[in-house]
């Protein structure tokens, strides 16, 4: 933002009358009684109000437009010195305040005045309840003493060559030159009866820093390394080292450029922008966060699993999805939450996340990856990112998601199901246009039909970012969330679970059976199964490799290397696959050399499909290609052949089949 430069000063005198509006606050007659006339002047292009507060000169600079929350900077001594950062802050919406308590050196009496000045500004002008403190030289005595009296009212502390120990200045009992007259005055102001009492004073800025560290108040000091009046070795370096050891956050910037005057105590401020950014960053006003429950549909709930975990002390919990489920983060947090919530329950956690997998692969690998050890009690399923990203049609999304739900509940009619819609940039943009992403509409349609729970994390993250709670670029970062983003996911899921499992479970609470309604989509993949390819190893022109591995240096995914693979490279030979069901396809390794196949069902006209995907150049991607669906339930014959043509981006004509998949029986 452009920094406003100085303008021709125009001085106006104003008398504050009842009803005068100041910074959006109406000054009442009662508040007026303790103030005399206020003068309004111009300070670096901004309005400044000068007034008396308890017989002390005070002023307040008003920004052109106050930032949200009305943040402010409180300058201690020498407020015109190194004020470059102040003008930056004012241009960005900060109020700048000062009260002249010169000569009091941060003594107890001055702190009482500061307390009342703070109350006056935060009540009369509605400035933020937390303030940034700035102290130059002896101003360090004021800001640190007041901060330790009021740690919860301080956002951050900025010191400019600050005095941090009275023995150094004005005492002069170390390397510094000291100031004898000021030292004598300080002893009087503080009420010290003897020299020794002053030397053993135990509330210097360098003392009792644990009070500030406990509140995690960040500190920044600008210093001159040649300073003989307030030597850094006796002041800043002691304070900063102690603060860091207490766990506080502290930064020191030596100003070494330009003329170092007044025995090194005056120096050019090299980086006023850094000072302003430090104060701005740490003056973020608390934002009222959105309610996670607004993005959750409990519907029929998940009480069955709750009863099972509490009464039977056993539970099977599955996590089914793509890379966001495969990666560590929210899933691990849910596991930890469940084990702590139910410490006497024996859990079987099934982690069935595989990168790039959406609902179609999940529907057909469900039996292998989730139901292999028997019925499950609770399943968390996510596919909104991959279903959309992989280009699955609405028809296929509905067939597959419904198939997953029906298959789980056919296996265990009491199983609880939670669908989660994770976020990606495309969904965020859709929500910002006032629309609902189509993939979420499709998954929600299944959830409504089966009365199962959903958590719309895509909408929640979008609206939290738009509300200013955090950013995508710096905090959440990616559709594969940062640790911060994983924490956002878990936080919402935990709230969902706490809400779903409110109250107690009686020992005689019965687990209910969920009735399966009439299918939403006829032919949904509710009997999905993966079939090995070994049975077809003898077919002419097709090579069966027991231990296939790529030889081109490209990576694969789990369960797609050192495994059986049925392969062909445009030999012209037809593979015949007999199955019983209503849908079928092939799970392939779609690598850099993936070709194009033709297929025919029950003697129908041949159709073509390109096996090369937009990710194939970089890895041998596990890819589920549905060839036929919506068939009449029964026996069918699928024929496949590899063509002597290829995608222009492909390096070959390969078809590598890891599994056949069928909705029905072989």
Q: Specify whether 148 is located in the same domain as 175.
A: yes
- Residue 258 forms part of a structural domain: yes
Any bridge partners for residue 610, and if so which? 596
User: pLDDT tens-digit profile of 53-87?
Assistant: 999 999 999 999 998 889 999 999 899 898 999 99
Give the integer Cα–Cα distance in Å for 635 and 221.
79
Contact present, 57 and 99 (Cβ < 8 Å): yes
Model pLDDT, residue 10: 24
pLDDT given at position 68:
83
Q: What's the CA gap between 418 and 408, in Å, rounded? A: 12
Output the domain CATH number for residue 638.
2.60.120.260
The two three-digit tokens of residue 19, written as one number: 């009803």
The reply to whether 171 and 309 lie within a common domain is no
Q: Round to whole Å and give the CA distance between 322 and 352.
A: 8
**Which parts of the chain register pLDDT below 50?**
1-36
**CA dist., res. 160 & res. 142, Å (int):** 13
506 belongs to a structural domain: no
Say if 107 falls within a structural domain: yes
Q: What is the pLDDT of residue 287?
A: 62
From 281, 306, 339, give the residue that closes a domain: 281
Same domain, yes or no: 462 and 596: no
Give how far the C-alpha of residue 83 lies from the chain's centroid of Cα atoms, to the nearest Å. 35
Strands 575-590 and 528-531: unpaired
Q: Is residue 290 part of a domain?
A: no
Q: Is 328 exposed, middle or buried (0-12, 13-18, 19+ CB in 10 A)?
A: exposed
Question: 380 with 332, same domain?
Answer: yes
List, in sequence order, every beta strand (DSSP E) within 33-192.
Answer: 38-43, 46-53, 56-62, 72-75, 95-99, 131-136, 154-160
Q: Are 622 and 658 in contact (CB under 8 A)?
A: yes
CATH number at residue 468: 3.40.50.1110
537 and 486 in a single domain? The answer is: no
Instruction: Assess whether 346 and 489 both reside in one domain.
Output: yes
Which CATH number belongs to the domain containing residue 232 in this structure?
A: 3.40.50.1820
**C-alpha dihedral over 558, 562, 565, 570, to 10 degrees?**
100
**Distance of CA 425 to CAs 82, 428, 463, 481, Å?**
43, 5, 13, 12
CA distance 304 to 321: 22
User: In the prediction, which pLDDT does 33 show?
Assistant: 39
Residue closest to 429 by CA, chosen among 376, 477, 377, 465 = 465
Contact between 228 and 264 under an 8 Å Cβ cutoff? The reply is yes
Distance between CA atoms of 447 and 236, rounded to whole angstroms?
61
Same domain, 203 and 332: no
Integer Cα distance of 617 and 120 in angstroms: 66
Task: Flag whether 162 is in a domain.
Answer: yes
The verdict on residue 523 lying in a domain is no
Same domain, 311 and 276: no
Q: How many domains is the chain partitioned into structurally?
A: 3
For 14, the token pair is: 């104003």
SS3 category, 199: helix
Residue 449 dihedral angles phi and psi, to the nearest 5°: -65, -35
Same domain, 170 and 135: yes
Residue 410 lies in a domain: yes
Do residues 252 and 316 both lie within one domain? no
Range of 35's domain?
12-281
CA 586 to chain centre: 38
User: Do residue 547 and residue 437 come from a single domain?
Assistant: no
Among 240, 256, 281, where does a domain finish? 281
Instruction: Report the pLDDT value the prediction gives residue 111, as an integer from 0 to 100.
Output: 96
Residues 597 and 496 in one domain: no
The answer to whether position 412 is within a domain reads yes
Contact 363, 528 (CB under 8 A): yes
Final residue of a structural domain among 485, 500, 515: 500
Q: Select from 663, 656, 661, 655 the least CA-distant residue to 560.
A: 656
Nearest Cα to 305, choosing from 274, 345, 270, 355?
345
Measured CA to CA, the distance from residue 119 to residue 117 in angstroms comes to: 5
């Amino acid at each position: 933002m452009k920094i406003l430069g100085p303008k021709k000063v125009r001085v106006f005198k104003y008398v504050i009358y009842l009803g005068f509006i100041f910074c959006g606050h109406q000054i009442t007659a009662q508040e007026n009684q303790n103030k005399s006339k206020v003068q309004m002047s111009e300070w670096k292009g901004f309005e400044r109000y000068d007034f008396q507060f308890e017989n002390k000169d005070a002023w307040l600079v008003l920004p052109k437009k106050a930032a949200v929350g009305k943040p402010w900077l409180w300058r201690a001594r020498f407020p015109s010195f190194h004020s470059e950062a102040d003008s930056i802050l004012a241009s960005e919406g900060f109020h700048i305040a000062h009260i002249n308590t010169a000569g009091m050196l941060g003594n107890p009496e001055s702190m009482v005045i500061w307390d009342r000045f703070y109350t006056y500004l935060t009540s009369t002008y509605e400035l933020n309840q937390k303030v940034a403190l700035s102290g130059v030289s002896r101003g360090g005595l004021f800001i640190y003493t007041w901060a330790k009296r009021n740690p919860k009212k301080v956002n951050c502390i900025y010191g400019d060559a600050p005095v941090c120990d009275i023995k150094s200045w004005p005492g002069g009992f170390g390397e510094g030159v000291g100031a004898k007259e000021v030292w004598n005055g300080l002893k009087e102001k503080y009420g010290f009866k003897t020299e020794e009492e002053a030397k053993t004073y135990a509330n210097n800025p360098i003392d009792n820093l644990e009070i500030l560290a406990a509140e995690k108040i960040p500190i920044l000091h600008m210093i001159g390394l040649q300073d003989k009046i307030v030597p850094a070795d006796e002041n800043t370096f002691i304070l900063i080292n102690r603060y860091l050891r207490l766990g506080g956050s502290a930064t020191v910037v030596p100003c070494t450029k330009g003329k170092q005057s007044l025995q090194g105590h005056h120096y050019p401020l090299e980086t006023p922008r850094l000072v302003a950014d430090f104060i701005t960053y740490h003056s973020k006003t608390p934002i009222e966060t959105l309610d996670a429950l607004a993005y959750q549909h409990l519907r029929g709930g998940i009480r069955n699993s709750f009863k099972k975990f509490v009464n039977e002390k056993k539970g099977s919990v599955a996590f089914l999805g793509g890379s966001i489920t495969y990666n560590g983060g929210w899933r691990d947090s849910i596991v930890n939450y469940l084990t702590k919530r139910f410490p006497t329950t024996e859990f079987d956690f099934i982690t069935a996340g595989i990168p790039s997998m959406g609902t179609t692969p999940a529907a057909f690998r469900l039996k292998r990856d989730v139901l292999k050890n028997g019925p499950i009690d609770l399943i968390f399923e996510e596919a909104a990112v991959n279903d959309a990203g992989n280009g699955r049609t609405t028809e296929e999304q509905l067939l597959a998601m419904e198939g997953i739900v029906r298959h789980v509940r056919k296996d265990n009619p009491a199983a609880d199901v939670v669908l989660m819609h994770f976020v990606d940039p495309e969904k965020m943009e859709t929500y910002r246009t006032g629309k609902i992403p189509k993939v979420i509409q499709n998954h929600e349609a299944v959830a409504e039909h089966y009365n199962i729970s959903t958590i719309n994390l895509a909408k929640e993250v979008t609206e939290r970012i738009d509300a200013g709670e955090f950013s995508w670029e710096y905090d959440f970062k990616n559709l594969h969330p940062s640790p911060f983003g994983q924490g956002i996911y878990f936080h919402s899921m935990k709230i969902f679970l706490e809400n779903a499992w409110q109250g107690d479970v009686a020992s005689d609470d019965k687990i209910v059976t969920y009735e399966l309604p009439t299918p939403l989509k006829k032919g949904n993949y509710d009997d999905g199964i993966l079939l090995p390819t070994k049975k077809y190893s003898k077919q002419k022109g097709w090579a069966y490799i027991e231990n296939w591995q790529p030889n081109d240096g490209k990576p694969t995914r789990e369960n797609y290397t050192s495994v059986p693979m049925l392969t062909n490279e445009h030999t012209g030979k037809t593979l015949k696959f007999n199955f019983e069901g209503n849908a079928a396809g092939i799970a392939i390794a779609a690598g850099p050399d993936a070709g194009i196949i033709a297929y025919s069902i029950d003697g129908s006209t041949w159709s073509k499909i390109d096996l090369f995907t937009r990710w194939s150049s970089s890895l041998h991607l596990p890819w589920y290609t549905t060839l036929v669906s919506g068939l009449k339930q029964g026996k069918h014959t699928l024929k496949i052949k590899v063509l002597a043509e290829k995608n222009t981006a492909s390096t070959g004509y390969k078809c590598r089949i890891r599994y056949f998949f069928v909705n029905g029986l072989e």
